[in-house]
Structure 1
């Protein structure tokens, strides 16, 4: 899906939509109402929206629903049919299958996380991420509410394909954070791989 930052408090009616932060946005195409950041093959990384109706969004950070995503995609493609917009999952439910101490640090842990469609190795420093528990995870290509871009990487020579996602990472209020906790308490394997934005 797409992640939207409402920046109208600094630039009136402006917003930034991120689709896939893994894409090398080496090119920028300028239009009257937007700037499209893409790679040389027209894969879109993000878009600066220069006259967007951000007033009715309320929040500074938002995961677009299907209708909002489709509307934005149509707007971008109306500029050029060459643009390619990838529908990737950003914040999804996963279950910890295996947890081991990092081979080079007693303070880090290597997790095997099940997302139904695939399993990923993720390195963490958290002590409460134990086997059998369900959490929300930020996958590569996403960006958190604090502006942290999630990429595939290595931590002390061990590959990591994502990050544990907190309520703060999603820009949640206290009420939303409580709902997230309640959701994770009732999770079973039928929730694996689902976008958290579709569940709250």
Structure 2
């Protein structure tokens, strides 16, 4: 699952390549009912806010627009500090959430650790979509492993509404959590 809740791939065990899964197969009805014009309006608004914040704060960054997200990304060799990223997130979140279009399309504004993104959907929808796609797995049997880069309503906080969450800081911690979970399952496996 990627882009908060906007695309899904599965690993082909034979080729080792990722295979695209059409949204109609896994997307929740809430998400598939969002109107494309509203999605584009929300992204236009996100882009305008990120551009204004970049200019106002003199940030060494560029704006990148994708199909379901818009981001403020540092220029090559440049960095933005955590406080700058948080300020942009707070402004984007607040400015968008009070609009009419935000009542019709869910979104999230988040600090990605080195950049800021406004994405359509959020990780709650991503987790719920996966639970449904994988056969209706209940929240009580789901564990989300997520990066908690920010202290302010970051994108992974929404995942907690759909599943138990383990916060990690880097990929190494993800491996450790999976190994620990597997050891626990092996130890307490009912035969």
Return the TM-score normalized by structure 2. Answer: 0.26
Structure number with higher helix proportion: 2
Structure number with higher strand proportion: 1
